[in-house]
Amino acid sequence: MNLYFAIDGDDIGRQLETFVVSNDIKSVKAFSNRVKTALTVLENFFRSNKGEIIFSAGDSILASSNNKIEISAIPLIQGEISFSMGVGRSGEQALLSLKRAKALGKRRYEIAKEMSFEK
């Protein structure tokens, strides 16, 4: 059973913009390092659970796994940096579930509901 995990940072762009418009370059650099560290923690979590990182850049990750992963153990909140996540049986389902998680308040995960369109 292959599952996909679409993960995206919560309000990362907004936080970055706050530092940039304040011309606080030192804070931009420090914030960038915290985001990179948080992504590395997530990547390492999936790798240690025999998952595969398909994409990782900016503040987003797409991962997959054939192994059972305890979803509540995924480190989506790391201090001031938080992520939302969608889980599905395809990349598309994971992405749509991520959109649902963001729409429902962020700092959370949503699991795709199986849908069938029978004729």
pLDDT digit string (tens) for 52-86? 999 999 999 999 999 999 999 999 999 999 999 99
Q: How many domains does the structure of the chain reveal?
A: 1
Q: Which two tokens stand for residue 91?
A: 């990349």
pLDDT digit string (tens) for 7-56? 999 999 999 999 999 999 999 999 999 999 999 999 999 999 999 999 99
**Whether pLDDT at 115 is above 80:** no
Contact between 109 and 95 under an 8 Å Cβ cutoff? The reply is no
- Residue 63 bridge partners (DSSP): 5, 53
Q: Please state, in angstroms and rounded to a whole number, the distance separating the CA atoms of residues 84 and 10.
A: 6
- The answer to whether position 116 is within a domain reads no
CATH number assigned to the domain comprising residue 95: 3.30.70.270
- The answer to whether position 31 is within a domain reads yes
Host domain of residue 84: 3-111
- The answer to whether position 98 is within a domain reads yes
